[in-house]
């Protein structure tokens, strides 16, 4: 079984961004929420871009 470590790392980044977003919502911190949503969006854009390669 071969593991694509680059893809795995991006999926882990995505999981972290979901956790950070949940923390930002819980803390009601708008700046933290906006920055984590940008990070989440960047991870998704990168993962979608990998599929077309």
pLDDT at position 25 is 96
Residue whose C-alpha is closest to residue 37's, from 25, 27, 48, 49: 25
The C-alpha atoms of residue 30 and residue 45 are separated, in whole angstroms, by 22
1-53, pLDDT tens digit by residue?
A: 777 888 888 899 999 999 999 999 999 999 999 999 999 999 899 888 877 65
**Domains of the chain, residue spans:** 8-51
pLDDT at position 52 is 60
């Amino acid at each position: 079984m071969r593991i694509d470590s680059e893809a795995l790392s991006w999926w882990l980044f995505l999981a972290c961004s979901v956790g950070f977003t949940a923390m930002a919502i819980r803390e009601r911190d708008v700046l933290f929420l906006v920055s984590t949503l940008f990070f989440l969006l960047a991870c998704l854009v990168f993962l979608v871009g990998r599929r077309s390669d």
